[in-house]
Amino acid sequence: MAISQWYKKYFHIIFFIVASISAMLIIPAEGKFKFEYQRGRPWLYETLVSPVDFPILKSDQELRSERNLAASKSPLCFSYNSEAIVKSREQIPIALAGITSDTLLIIDKLLTFVYSKGIADRMDDSDRLSRVVVAESAFTQNELPAAEIFTVESASDYINERVGLDRERAQKLKTVLKPNLRYDKATTELSRRDAISAISPTKGVLYEGQIIVAKGETITSEIEQLLDSYKEEYEKSMGYSGSYILLKLGQLLICSALFLLLYIVLYFAKSEIFRDKRKLLFVVMLVLLSITVTVIVRGIEPAYIFMVPYSVFALYLCSFINYKVALPLYIVIILPVVIIAQNGTEIFMLNLFAGSVTLLAYSYWNRGWLQFAVAAGVFAALLFSYSAFRMIEDGTLMDFDFAFLGYFAWNSILMVAAYPFIYLFEKIYGLISDQRLRDLADTESPVLKELSLKAPGTFQHVLQVANLAESAVSSIGGNSLLARVGALYHDIGKMSDPILFIENQPPGALNLHDQLDPRESARLIIKHVQDGVDIAKRERLPSIVNEFILSHHGRSMTLYFYRKHIAAGGEPGDAKFFVYDGILPVYREQVVVMMADAVEAASRSLRSYTEDSISELVERVVGERVTDDQLSEAEISLKEIRMVKDVFKQRLSGMYHSRMVKPF
């Protein structure tokens, strides 16, 4: 027992220590480049002298320009077909029947010339400046200027201009000319790739002892390229040279600071996450997932981090957790990007803006195809903030790298693709998303529809309980939608035998319990809790709905039948037969549903609905639950209980207010 209490008291400390160690183990054992710099800003450190020889990398723009030039200069490749001229010579006399033999002789000579230059099956105007490689066999190739090669159209025009054929024969000539150069797309693409791969990524060497940048010097694009090159060499070849133990210890301290920040956010937000271990585990998992994804993607290609849909973490948060705390939690979740990723600050700011837009947009557009509108908002936010960084750092948008449009598009697409993982998290952590709650709260859902048909009185009861619970939970900052769902489903077990419950008995009908032994009546009444659990399992309702069913009576007694049993001479020791076999409520929403259920049921027996009678009823019913230790495990304060009672009094007064008598 002492160990259990100790564990409960120090659970959060132990949990955050384990999380910090886990995060430290995920981060690779490599040092971080210790200089931060930005184009257009002064160099804030001492003069940096190169400690080694290292190659100077070309900028992305230089590489892109050189590769485009190399691709444009790579030759077009064609295969040679020697049979084409033979077939054309055979068909021309037939196609051009009626012309003189002298004209045919001239055409034949022109045909020989045209085919010697080559007739290609494709040759665009943009290709005319290229070289052409013609493979005549597996062993011989000729290189020709593309400007001298004919197409079927240009070859026909060339011949026609010299012999003056009429329109009909000129058209027939086009049909019989066969290309003897067939475009080889695969070989052309291979040649183009070879030309691109031959481009060197470097443009010189900076030797040991040379100055990279002087203290206070403004960082130009050239100096930035030198620093980028030095950073690349440092991370690839030089790396961390200090103690491995100190490196991992430093990473552990950073991770501990991260989770301490998470603790502080939850503490000041007074979030229910502290009281709900499942939600706390879920949030910590998101932090570890963010670190893991960043490490993996950075190892593949640093630029691909721009494609990682960090904004989906914001969607996960607002699906399971109060909107008020979602943004600060999201900031903590993506904070590791600053430390792990290259250009971490820029990536962090881009995703902070995109995640904020996601939270705002999702609060309005959270159903069906409207989620694609959220994705469009993420794309726009990323593009907007990236453009802002380029204007600040480059002073122009002329160097805008359009590859990032693709990265941002993939970011938005992957966010939509990753959203369905919400349903997996529901199963793993026993959570329930707002979307699922909205579906369950629909009174046209199969279970509630069945309840309204089989037990209409109970259905009206749960509707009133739902209204009370929703308002009360909202007043104390809980999940009002969850409370409504719990209230709507807490009595579904009464469908199994609805006539046993007075709200379903017709007016004036005989009460079946008058003919039953009190112990049997209590057994049948208590049984509706287990019946409800069985129905919930059959209908595959979320586990948290089961908890509402089991906790709405807690471990209380069916006092009416127990007193009846005692009055009939029963033994006081039989009390165990009159106790509900449920669980005590833990979460605020469960506590409020228990209170609302008892208050609403008791309010039906009031003889007069005055402010005093309603107030006395609420105080008595709620007080009984407190004194009976039904709230001994509940995570709710006395202040919150007072607020709940005030809401109950207001709502009940509204439900049972005096009506003006109207003459008929």
Listed as ranges, residues in the chain with pLDDT below 70 are: 1-9, 31-32, 125-131, 133, 135-141, 237-242, 270-272, 365-370, 394-399, 508-509, 657-664
| Helices within 118-146 (DSSP H only) | none
For residue 553, being part of any structural domain is answered with: yes
Smallest Cα–Cα separation from 262: which of 281, 242, 247?
Answer: 281
Q: Residues 378, 418: contact at Cβ < 8 Å?
A: no
Which residues, 6+ apart, have CB-to-CB distance to 128 below 8 Å?
Answer: 146, 147
Read off the tokens for 67. Answer: 């590769």
Contact between 172 and 95 under an 8 Å Cβ cutoff? The reply is yes
In a domain, 47, yes or no: no
pLDDT at 409: 92
Considering the domain architecture, whether residues 450 and 386 belong to the same structural domain is answered as no
What pLDDT does 334 receive? 94
pTM of the model: 0.68
Residues 361 and 461 in one domain: no
Query: Do 150 and 112 reside in the same domain of the chain?
Result: yes
- Judge whether 215 lies within some domain: no
Residue 585 lies in a domain: yes
Same-domain pairing of 447 and 386: no
pLDDT at 349: 93
| Same domain, residue pair 394 and 464 | no
Has residue 32 been placed in a domain? no
Q: Which of 145, 175, 197 is the last residue of a domain?
A: 197
Report the CATH number that the domain containing residue 619 is assigned in CATH. 1.10.3210
Residues 6+ apart with CB under 8 A from 341: 294, 298, 302, 305, 347
pLDDT, tens digit, 9 for 90 and up, residues 513-539? 777 888 888 888 899 999 999 999 999
Does one domain contain both 389 and 298? yes
Structure tokens at 586: 């833990």
313 lies in some domain: yes
Per-residue confidence (pLDDT) for residue 92, from 0 to 100: 84
Range of the domain at 120: 68-197
Provide the H-helix boundaries in 126-270.
152-163, 167-176, 185-197, 221-233, 244-269
The reply to whether 456 and 411 lie within a common domain is: no
Taking 3-state DSSP, the helix, strand and coil percentages for the chain, each rounded to the nearest 5, stand at 65, 5, 25
Assigned domain for 385 exists: yes
**Residue 253, in any domain of the structure:** no
Is residue 152 domain-shared with residue 82, that is, in the same domain?
yes
Q: Do residues 578 and 620 both lie within one domain? A: yes
Q: State the sign of the Cα–Cα–Cα–Cα dihedral 598, 600, 605, 610.
A: positive
Q: What confidence score (pLDDT) does residue 396 get?
A: 67
User: Exposed e or buried b for every residue in 127-165, given b needs 16+ CB within 10 A?
Assistant: beebebbbbeeeeeeeebebeebbbbeebbeebbeebeb
pLDDT of res. 662 = 43
Quote the pLDDT of residue 261. 92
Among residues 429, 454, 474, the one where a domain terminates is 429
Instruction: Give residue for tokens 């991770």.
Output: 255
The C-alpha atoms of residue 496 and residue 480 are separated, in whole angstroms, by 28
Backbone angles phi, psi at 160, to 5 degrees: -65, -35
Q: Report d(CA 318, CA 311) in Å as an integer.
A: 11
Q: What is the pLDDT of residue 660?
A: 37
**Count: domains in the chain:** 3
Mapped onto helix, strand or coil, the DSSP state of residue 371 is helix
- Choose one of 429, 449, 484: the last residue of a domain: 429
pLDDT of residue 101: 83
Examine the domain organization and report whether 90 and 192 are in the same domain: yes
373 shares its domain with 454: no
- 331 and 413 inside one domain: yes
Backbone φ and ψ of 479, nearest 5°: -85, 95
